[in-house]
Amino acid sequence: MSFKPKRNQSNFLAKQRVLFLRKKTNKKNAHANYLLDDDQVSQYLSQNPDFFIRNARQIESMTIPHPVRGVISLPEWQLARQRNKIQQLEAEITLLMENASLNEKLFESIMTLFNQLLQANDMSDLQTRLTQWAKSLGLIDAYLYLFDDKWQIAPPSNYNYLAISPEKFDYIRVRHLQFNFQYLGQLNPTELALLIQDKHFIGSIAMTLLGEYGDLGVLIFASRSSSHYQEGQGTILLEKISILLPLIIKRWIARR
């Protein structure tokens, strides 16, 4: 004999189930509403600066996760942060002092070179002074070329040996000087053959275009070391030379 619940009894059970689920959901929502996020905690501490004074004992007993030691106390964590900040400040001060020393040496180097170049008697003397300065730094040599469409150096000029055509140089300009007037790094054998005729082994070069617009010529300093000149090194010295040299060269060679 089977028992079939009446319809009103079935409806009552369904309503009871709905009420139970609703209460459970409301309880979860109420619990969620009591959870604090980081912003709320930060805002409360900002508005109640005496919180740490009133709860000093609890704060001393608080622990914070640590990647090496597992957990550390809040005071230990604060001391560690202060030590890290002090070490960072010390490193920044050391870097500033090193940069100041380097800038002083760079300034002295620039002034020494400029004084030497300004005392040149002619183009031959100018090139000799460039070479001497380069070799004093342990470099192989300095190589100077003038674009023949900007200077009057065609025969019978005595300075035709300095001439290089912009079209011929474009091979190197496109590869290394498309976005900058200076290049520091290595050249392949074809590029070296175009610019440096002697048989020295060239490991790396520092190259700068001459003139405000980089259209007057090119100056190259060569080193035997392949790592002496590298991308990312400073180019202040090259930039200054690139402006000064054309002004000195105009003493002996006329512009077109």
Residue 3: pLDDT band (50, 70, 90) is: very low
d(CA 64, CA 74): 6
- Sign of the Cα pseudo-torsion (72, 74, 80, 85, in order): positive
Residue 164: pLDDT band (50, 70, 90) is: very high
**Burial label, 187 (beta-carbon count in 10 A; 0-12, 13-18, 19+):** buried
Which DSSP symbol is given to 187?
A: -
Q: Which range among 6-10, 166-170, 231-235 shows the weakest confidence by mean pLDDT?
A: 6-10
Phi-psi region of 231 (alpha: psi -120 to 50; beta: other; left: phi over 0): beta
Average pLDDT, whole number, for the chain?
80
Query: Burial code of 82-114, b = ≥16 C-beta within 10 A, e = fewer?
Result: eeeeeeeeeeeeeeeeeeeeeeeeeeeeeeebe
Q: What number is the average pLDDT over the span 209-237?
A: 90
Q: Pick 19 or 132 by higher pLDDT.
A: 132
Beta carbons of 217 and 144 less than 8 angstroms apart: yes
124 pLDDT more than 50: yes
Residue 1: pLDDT band (50, 70, 90) is: very low
d(CA 20, CA 174): 77
d(CA 204, CA 230): 8
Claim: this prediction has a pTM higher than 0.85: no
Give the pLDDT confidence of 174-193 residue by residue, as tens digits. Answer: 999 988 999 999 999 889 98
